[in-house]
């Protein structure tokens, strides 16, 4: 009860001063981790079970991914190869760099190094929300970051599973063919679940609203319920929840079109609350994990994971797109690590226990903390600078390619962007 009371009090305090932290290095997620850590030191072992946090994090990510996917226009997405480049070329390269660096500098075996490679390559949809929602940015850039952060969690999940098997000694029969087959089956199953439930839920809601049968509050509740159904079925069938939720959001948007904004405000608010709750609980667990002292090599690794291991693969993946270096740098920098990365670490601890080296969890937590501070501090100012540059470039070239504003887009002050 003390932990719950502390969380509620922290939400009220952060809400009262939240405007002051929009552009600063200490963001609301960072404050909630600090508050959770302080509470963890106070309550000790009476905090929540790790399995409770894992379930909360999965549900939170599902809601965030569904909400973000519902903003993606499939029509415009068909004309861009950028998300595919980032996912199919940038993501594997990032995993390879981080895994190799972990083995070289942290002296880790393949299993824990692969865990870091997969977990730290997955970008956070929640922490990237300010970019995704900034209507002053070109839609192509927003959708690329949105789709990448929505799907890379699902692509990383089978690799995390393999890393756990390596750590607990159950990987003798693992072959490249088995790995590829597992990934395809998990993703295909999740995509099918998301497509079916998202399409059916969106169609039913559109039909009911077109016949003036749906009260608006129930439209909001139905949207959130669709996500719950997708999550429940995915967990029950052991599919990749993140992929199912994102695909469901795409299918839901396809049925409702631009009117999806009219039924999703409650879902967005729920995702906001659950997100800060998950960060609070993550901080709550940290004191009990016993991470140990931070070494210089740990800091070097965290900086490498946030910069070179992200920006170099993005630059390679974007070769041939003819994008300006400003766009490459913007996408390369905004690969925040947050809830998904922490979730992968907690899943490894839950399933592998003492087989997970404490140092692997230490650098994972260190990288997440550094990302929350660094990306939180730079999101708003860099968004403003890039938007101003993009507008000047569009005016100078007089080309309507990837316009800054499109029908249905409205300006939103960066200081007021949610999440």
DSSP string spanning 23-51? SSSS-HHHHHHHHHHHHHHHHGGGS--HH
Alpha carbon distance 159, 182 (integer Å): 10
Instruction: Retrieve residue 247's tokens.
Output: 């695909």
pLDDT band at 307 (very low <50, low <70, confident <90, very high): very high
- Whole-number percent of the chain with pLDDT over 70: 85
Alpha carbon distance 309, 363 (integer Å): 15
| pLDDT at res. 178 | 61
Contacts of 344 (CB under 8 A, 6+ apart): 115, 118, 119, 122, 156, 157, 160
Compare 204 and 48 and report the one with higher pLDDT.
204
| pLDDT at res. 398 | 63
| pLDDT at res. 298 | 93
- Structural domains for the chain: 38-393 (1.20.1530.20)
3-state secondary structure of 121: coil
- Whole-number percent of the chain with pLDDT over 90: 28
Residue range 4-10: mean pLDDT, rounded: 87
Contacts of 318 (CB under 8 A, 6+ apart): 82, 85, 327, 328, 331
| pLDDT at res. 197 | 96
Q: Is 308 exposed, middle or buried (0-12, 13-18, 19+ CB in 10 A)?
A: middle
| pLDDT at res. 403 | 44
Alpha carbon distance 419, 417 (integer Å): 7
* CB distance 152 to 119 below 8 Å: no
Could you read off the pLDDT of 198-231 as tens digits, one per residue?
A: 999 999 999 998 888 988 889 899 999 999 999 9
Of 29-33, 169-173, 198-202, give the lowest mean pLDDT range: 169-173
* CA neighbor of 302 nearest in space, from 116, 28, 104, 118: 116
Alpha carbon distance 156, 96 (integer Å): 12
* CB distance 83 to 144 below 8 Å: yes
């Amino acid at each position: 009860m003390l932990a719950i009371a502390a969380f509620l009090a922290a939400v009220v305090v952060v809400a009262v001063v939240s405007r002051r932290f929009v552009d600063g290095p200490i963001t609301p997620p960072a404050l909630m981790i600090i508050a959770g850590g302080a509470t963890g030191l106070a309550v000790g072992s009476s905090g929540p079970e790790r399995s409770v946090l894992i379930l909360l994090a999965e549900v939170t990510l599902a809601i965030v991914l569904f909400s973000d996917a519902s903003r993606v226009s499939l029509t415009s997405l068909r004309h861009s190869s950028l998300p595919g480049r980032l996912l199919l070329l940038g993501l594997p390269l990032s995993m390879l760099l981080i895994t190799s660096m972990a083995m070289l500098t942290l002296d880790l075996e393949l299993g824990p190094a692969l865990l870091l490679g997969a977990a730290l390559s997955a970008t956070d949809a929640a922490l990237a929300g300010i970019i995704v929602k900034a209507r002053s940015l070109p839609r192509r850039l927003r959708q690329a970051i949105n789709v990448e952060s929505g799907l890379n969690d699902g692509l990383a999940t089978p690799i995390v599973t393999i890393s756990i098997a390596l750590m607990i000694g159950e990987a003798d029969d693992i072959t490249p063919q088995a790995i590829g087959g597992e990934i395809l089956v998990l993703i295909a199953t999740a995509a099918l679940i998301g497509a079916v439930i998202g399409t059916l839920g969106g169609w039913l809601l559109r039909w009911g609203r077109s016949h003036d049968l749906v009260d608006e509050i129930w439209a909001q509740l139905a949207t959130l319920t669709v996500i719950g159904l997708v999550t429940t079925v995915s967990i029950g069938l052991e599919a990749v929840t993140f992929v199912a939720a994102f695909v469901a959001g795409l299918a839901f948007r396809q049925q409702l079109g631009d009117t999806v904004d009219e039924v999703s405000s409650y879902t967005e608010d729920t995702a906001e609350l659950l997100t800060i709750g998950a960060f609070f609980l993550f901080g709550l667990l940290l004191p009990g994990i016993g991470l140990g002292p931070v070494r210089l090599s740990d800091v070097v690794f965290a900086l490498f994971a946030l910069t070179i291991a992200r920006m170099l693969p993005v630059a390679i993946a974007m070769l041939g797109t003819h994008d300006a270096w400003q766009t490459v740098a913007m996408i390369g920098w905004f690969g925040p690590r947050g809830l998904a990365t922490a979730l992968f670490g907690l899943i490894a601890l839950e399933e592998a226990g003492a087989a997970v080296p404490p140092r692997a969890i230490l650098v994972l937590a260190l990288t997440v903390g550094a990302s929350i501070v660094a990306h939180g501090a730079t999101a708003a100012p860099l968004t403003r600078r890039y938007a101003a540059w993009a507008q000047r470039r569009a005016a100078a070239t007089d080309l309507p390619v990837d316009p800054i504003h499109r029908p249905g887009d409205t300006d939103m002050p960066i200081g007021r962007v949610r999440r």
